[in-house]
C-alpha cells in the first residue's frame, strides 16, 4: 500500500511537532535543575556580597594609588 502526499505531510508535521515538544520539555528539565543547583541560603548571598564589596574597595584603593592593572 502506498501513501499519498497528504499522508506523508501529516507524518512530517507530526514528527516536527513531536520534535519541538521534545526540545521544549528538555529545556524545562534543564532549567529546573539549574534553579535547584543555584539555590543559595540568605547567609551565602550575604557572604558573597560582602566579599565582592571588599574586593571592589581594594580595587578602588589600588586605582587611586596608581597600581597597574587595578582599573
Per-residue model confidence as pLDDT tens digits over 19-71: 999 999 999 888 888 877 777 888 998 999 999 999 999 988 888 887 666 55
b/e sequence 31-55, b meaning 16+ C-beta within 10 Å: eeeeeeeeeeeeeeeeeeeeeeeee
Residue 35 is predicted with a pLDDT of: 78
DSSP at 45: H
For residues 15 and 21, what is the distance between their CA atoms, to the nearest angstrom? Answer: 10
CA atoms within 13 A on the CB side of 23: 5
Residue 56 is predicted with a pLDDT of: 95
For residues 33 and 27, what is the distance between their CA atoms, to the nearest angstrom? Answer: 10
Residue 39 is predicted with a pLDDT of: 79
Amino acid at each position: 500500500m502506498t501513501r499519498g502526499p497528504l499522508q506523508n505531510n501529516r507524518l512530517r508535521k507530526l514528527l516536527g511537532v513531536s520534535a519541538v515538544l521534545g526540545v521544549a520539555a528538555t529545556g524545562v528539565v534543564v532549567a529546573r535543575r539549574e534553579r535547584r543547583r543555584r539555590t543559595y541560603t540568605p547567609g551565602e548571598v550575604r557572604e558573597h556580597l560582602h566579599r565582592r564589596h571588599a574586593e571592589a574597595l581594594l580595587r578602588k584603593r589600588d586605582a587611586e594609588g596608581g597600581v597597574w592593572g587595578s582599573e
